[in-house]
Structure 1
Amino acid sequence: MFKYIFILLAVAVTGASAYLIDVRSPDFTRSQRTAAPIRKIYATGAIEGATREIQVRPELRGRVVEIPIAIGQVVSQGDVLLRLDDSRQRQLVAASLASLQLAQAQLEQLQNGARQAERDEARALLQAKRARLEQARRSWTRIEQLNQQSAVSQQEADNERSGVEALTAEVAAAAARLEQLEAPPRADEVRAAQARVAAAQAEYDLAVIEHQRCTLAAPAAGRVLDVDVEPGELIGPDSAAPAVVLADTAKMRVRAYVEEIDAPRLRLGMPAAITADGLPEQVALGKVEFISPRMTPKEFTSEEPNELYDTKVREVLIDVLDPTALIVGLRVDVVLHPEDSHEGAELMTQMAAARQSSPR
């Protein structure tokens, strides 16, 4: 009897305890959902200019004769960076120009036809031969009559007839020559001459291009970051190191790489705090201006003990508001704050104030 009473009491106590625990226990799912903090996004990156580094090499192989720039100098697009020996290219330009001028002169001569003096000379020659032919025909008429009367020998009559035939052929040749001088040029001759001019023009243009390639010009405005060549050195497009390295440093930005776990939370316009080991007391402000549409394999790490070793990262570009102390290539750490967080709102306020106070 006491055994059953003890069992009933144990069951009652257990049920009451379970009820109290269930009633007093908080809703962990709801509390975690409402109280979860807004996480910052950490990333590593490097400073670069408005463009990536531009590695400039000459398009042809040659020996350097002049380097009119220095490291740190600001250049504009088209400014000369270096010059190669162009003695051979100058000779090719001169030779191709002479060939072009010759072809043009031949075409012009063909289109203009013969000179007036040549036409007058051919016309006078034709008239003279016609006059001689008329005289020879009259003489042949008399000789033929005398030959019929046996007053002259047959040999003399044959000679006179041969002279008439020869003069007739000469008159025909002179007339053809005059017709040729006075006739316009044939279409096929003009096309052939024009083709020779076009070929010579192409050779000249190619020679000019080759000569221009002896001068290495800046492809864009920027600052000279490095010059890895000396006068007298032989360089070319296949050189291991670029001759000149440029970058547009008028505007600085950070190319950062965000871990895969944080990549979906990236948004354009997110404020960023940028720090560097060499500038421990300075924090640069920036804003996300570009987010890569794809993930890429991770290439480098920050070697921090708490780094997440994801296999892929997402690339972002961050415009730096005041890059005074930053230099191209400097490794930096970036903290991105969601705009709806307290820190993000503070950074946005600081950037707005900095823009208003900065000189325009």
Structure 2
Amino acid sequence: MRNKLLFALAILGIVAGFVSAYIYSTQKKALPPVFNPAPNPYVKGIYTNGIVESYQSNGENINIFPEVSGTVAQIPVVEGAKVRRGDPLLVMDDSIQRALVEQQKAQADAAQALLQQLKAQPRKETLEVSKAQVDFAAASYKTSLAQYEKQKKSYELNPKSVSPDQLDNAENAAKAAQANLLVAQKQYELTKAGAWIYDIRNQQYQYEALSKALASSKALLEKYTLRAPVDGVILAVNTAVGSFISPQGAYGTYTQGFNPIIVMATSAPYCGVRCYIDEILIARLPPPDQMNARMFFRGTNISVPLEYERVQPYVIPKIELSNQRTERVDVRVLPILFRFKPLKDMAVYPGQLVDVYVESK
């Protein structure tokens, strides 16, 4: 009985092995692709990767960096918003710079007031005081001179009537009074002439220097507000309220580098496509007036003809086309820029990777 059971189990194992071998050896039918790979529309076409950008007459997307460092206080725009030239995009904390502007304004106002005071001299009341001092000195001189002349005549009539010492004192008093009158007259002329021209010039220079420092501080204060340089659309805001930003940009948590604070696109009716042609294929490129290209959107069967825009005549190291990384390889490429009108029934965004074929010679 035991031998029959072992024999039956062996038979079942052999049958199971054959069944398993048959099942696993059967090839399953492959699933159809979600979309067809981009076909080469030309007999001799050069394949290249492309990246969609906002259309620019020169450069790439508009990357906005601050000219000063500070903490973000307000972001009045959102990604995707349309803005006009001059609209505020980001406001930084400017309390320290604003206080400095107010201080320098007060200093400039004080310098201007002193300059106006110098130009307004002589003051009427000061001139009247100086004139009164001249009159007083003249009266004192007249009195001293009269006393001296009286004593001199008395001495001439009778030398014993006046001592030589009294006569000398009277003469000295008259001379001192005359000198005081001369000083008072000079002081009056000085007061009447007003402020010295060199004092006015010096104060004028100080006022101009403080005014220029104030203008510089006001201009720097304006830098704490980032404004739209052109009409366009906000593509990305790479910071948040309370974050610290600098002229280097904002630190990206995911890219591990510094990114532009705000990225903008123009409101042009076109989109740009930047393609990178391998350096070994440059010789196969046709002349610009004969260059044809077609772009294929990844994940779809949609293709769009491209219009030639320009060549960036500078071969550069190939870089990663995504995530703004700076990975460099040994291959060098030639950037070529095309343009196209966005499709009405399909959303196209800057930064999107596309497949491009360029017709070869």
TM-score above 0.5:
yes
Q: Could you say if the C-alpha distance between residues 55 and 294 of structure 1 is closer, same or farther in structure 2, counting changes exceeding 3 Å?
A: closer
What residue identity is the alignment partner of 1:293? P
> Alignment partner for residue 157 of structure 1, among 160, 167, 174?
167
2-structure distance, mates of 1:327, 1:152: 118
> Is the 1:45–1:333 contact (alpha carbons within 8 Å) kept by the matching residues of 2?
yes
The code of the aligned residue for 2:130 comes to: A
Q: Deviations over 1:180-220 (max 9, x none)?
A: 12226544333322221221112111221222122122233
Matched with 1:211 is 221
How far 1:266 moved relative to its partner? Answer: 3.4
The answer to whether the aligner puts 1:67 opposite 2:94 as a matched pair is: no
Separation in structure 2 between the aligned mates of residue 101 and residue 189 of structure 1, nearest angstrom: 18
Q: Secondary structure at the match of 1:224?
A: strand
SS at match of 2:128: helix
The answer (yes or no) to whether the contact 1:47–1:329 under 8 Å persists in 2 is yes
- CA drift of 1:249 comes to 5.0
Q: How do residues 1-360 of structure 1 correspond to structure 2 at under 5 angstroms?
A: 39-51=44-56, 52-148=60-156, 149=158, 150-183=160-193, 185-238=195-248, 239-240=250-251, 241-250=259-268, 251-264=270-283, 265-269=285-289, 270-278=291-299, 280-300=300-320, 311-324=331-344, 325-337=347-359
CA distance in 2 between counterparts of 1:124 and 1:277 reads 99
| Unpaired stretches in structure 2, ≥5 consecutive residues | 1-41, 252-258, 323-328
Residue ranges of structure 1 left out of the alignment (5+ in a row) = 1-36, 303-308, 342-360
**Residue pair 1:267, 1:288 contacting (<8 A) in 2 also:** no
Amino acid at match of 1:266: P
Maintained 8 Å contact 2:94/2:221: yes
Q: What displacement does 1:310 show?
A: 9.0
CA distance in structure 1 between the aligned counterparts of 2:312 and 2:65, rounded to whole angstroms? 29
In 2: Cα distance, 1:76 partner to 1:177 partner: 65
CA 1:101 to 1:41, structure 2 compared with 1: closer, same or farther past 3 Å?
same
Question: What is the identity, as a one-letter code, of the residue corresponding to 2:55?
Answer: A
Between the aligned residues of both structures, percent identity stands at 27
Distance of 1:237 and 1:115 partners within structure 2: 53
How many residues were matched structurally?
296
Distance (whole Å) between structure 2 residues aligned to residue 310 and residue 189 of structure 1: 69
Question: Shift of residue 121 of structure 1?
Answer: 3.0
Instruction: State the Cα RMSD in Å.
Output: 2.7
The question of whether the paired residues in 2 share the 8 Å contact of 1:285 and 1:322 is answered with no
Please state whether the residue corresponding to 1:220 is helix, strand or coil: coil
Give yes or no for contact 2:294–2:357 (8 Å, CA) kept in 1: yes
- Name the SS of the counterpart of 1:48 in structure 2: strand
TM-score w.r.t. length of structure 1 = 0.74
Is residue 80–residue 235 contact of structure 2 (8 Å, CA) maintained in 1? yes
Please state which structure has a larger fraction of its residues in helix.
1
The CA deviation string for residues 126-178 of structure 1, in whole angstroms up to 9 with x for no partner, is 13321221222111111223345222344543443343233222212211111
1:322/1:268 Cα in 2 relative to 1: closer, same or farther (>3 Å)?
farther
- Seen in structure 2, the aligned counterparts of structure 1 residues 212 and 86 have a Cα distance that, compared at 3 Å, is same
Inter-CA distance 301–233: structure 2 relative to 1 (3 Å threshold): closer
Contact 1:260 1:310 in 2 (8 A): no
How far apart, in 1, do the equivalents of 2:70 and 2:209 lie? Answer: 27
Determine if contact 2:122/2:193 at 8 Å carries over to the other structure: no
Q: Aligned with 2:319: secondary structure?
A: coil
